[in-house]
Each structure stands twice: as C-alpha cells, then as structure tokens.
C-alpha cells in the first residue's frame, strides 16, 4: 500500500470509529487529517482535503479546539490561521477521557446519587429491585470515575505498566 492510500484509509477508519463513539464523523476525520500532517493546516487545506464546506470546517475546528485536541497556530506576518493536532497519543486519550468524564459521567453520577436516596417500602419488590440496580450502577460508575481520575494524573508508562503488571 502506498502512502496516499494509507492516509485515506486512516482518515476513513478514524472517522468510522468516531461515529461509533458519539463523535461526529467529520470531526474525527479532521482530527485524523491533522494527526498525520507534519505541518499545521489552514481551513482551506482542510476543506480541500476532505471536500467539506467552509462552515463545516470552521465549526469542526472550533469543536476540536474545545476538546483540547487541536490548537491554532499563528504564523508571523500571515493573516491566515493554521491548525495543528497534539500528536501525543497519551495526551489525546487523556483529553478525551477528561472531557467525556465532565460531560457525561459526572452528570449521571449526580443523578444516581439522588436516586440512591429515594425512600420506599422495603417489602416492595419494585422498590427493592429499583434500589439494588441504582445502587449497583452507582458503585460501578464511581469505580470508573476513580480510575479515570488516576489516569488523568498519571504518566503513560506508569499507568500501563501498573495495569498490565496485574494482568501479566
């Protein structure tokens, strides 16, 4: 396989993976494109490479910046804005974990905490089942939360070293 074809495949695969994980396809593709570009790209470059409109490119880039995955780069003596992606995979994973925790895990834990407190007739099977499921899910969510918390603070080698050591 030659490089241009390989690039295409990578962008396609990353886009597909994104859309299976709640990230819009174009956003994942722009990210992929920037990940394999040695230099920062302009909005025009991205529009052309991926055949998308200016509006779409602009929105997507802002979204990627809000996720902390892409940054603007200003070049001296140039009006145009250039964009580049953080290439450090561990940073990317951490950044994504951080954002999703904030956006999704935190809110559900808040709701589960409330629901855990709901009182009811301890003899009522409906109440028992509700309470057990909610409590169990809450525990799981908190374990995940703790693990993420540690991951966010950790260094990559240490993290995988520790995890994989357990699983030797």
Partner DNA sequence: TTAAACTTTCAATATATTTTGAAAGTTTAA
Partner DNA sequence: TTAAACTTTCAAAATATATTGAAAGTTTAA
Nearer to a copy of itself, 52 or 92 (CB): 92
Q: How far apart are the first and last CA of the chain?
A: 35
Binding partner selected for residue 65 from DNA, a copy of itself, none, CB under the kind-specific 5 to 8 Å limit: none
Q: How far apart are CA 156 and CA 78, in angstroms?
A: 37
Which of 54, 62, 72, 87 is close enough to bind a copy of itself by CB under 8 A? 87
Structure tokens at 165: 């050591």
Q: How far is the CB of 84 from DNA (least distance, A)?
A: 13
Q: How far apart are CA 21 and CA 141, in angstroms?
A: 18
Binding partner selected for residue 130 from a copy of itself, DNA, none, CB under the kind-specific 5 to 8 Å limit: a copy of itself
Q: How far apart are CA 119 and CA 140, in angstroms?
A: 21
Q: How far apart are CA 19 and CA 28, in angstroms?
A: 8
From residue 100 to residue 139, the character string flagging contacts with a copy of itself as x (rule: CB under 8 A) and all else as - is: ---xx---x--xx-xx-xx-x----xxxxxx-xxx-xx-x
Name the residue with tokens 């250039």.
82
Residue length of the chain: 168
- Residue ranges in contact with a copy of itself by CB under 8 A: 1-3, 6-7, 9-10, 13, 17, 19-22, 35-39, 87-90, 93, 103-104, 108, 111-112, 114-115, 117-118, 120, 125-130, 132-134, 136-137, 139-140, 143, 146-147, 149-150, 160, 162-164, 166-167
């Amino acid at each position: 396989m030659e490089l241009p074809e390989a690039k295409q495949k990578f962008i396609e695969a990353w886009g597909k993976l994104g859309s299976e994980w709640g990230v819009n396809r174009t956003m994942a593709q722009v990210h992929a494109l920037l990940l394999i570009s040695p230099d920062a790209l302009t909005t025009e470059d991205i529009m052309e490479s991926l055949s998308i409109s200016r509006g779409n490119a602009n929105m997507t880039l802002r979204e990627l910046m809000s996720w902390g995955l892409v940054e603007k780069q200003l070049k001296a003596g140039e009006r145009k804005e250039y964009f580049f992606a953080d290439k450090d995979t561990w940073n990317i994973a951490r950044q994504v974990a951080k954002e999703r925790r904030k956006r999704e895990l935190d809110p559900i834990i808040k709701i589960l905490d409330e629901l855990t407190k709901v009182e009811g007739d301890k003899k009522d099977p409906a109440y028992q089942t509700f309470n057990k499921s909610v409590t169990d899910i809450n525990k799981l969510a908190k374990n995940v939360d703790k693990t993420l918390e540690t991951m966010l603070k950790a260094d990559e080698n240490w993290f995988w070293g520790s995890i994989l050591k357990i699983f030797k």
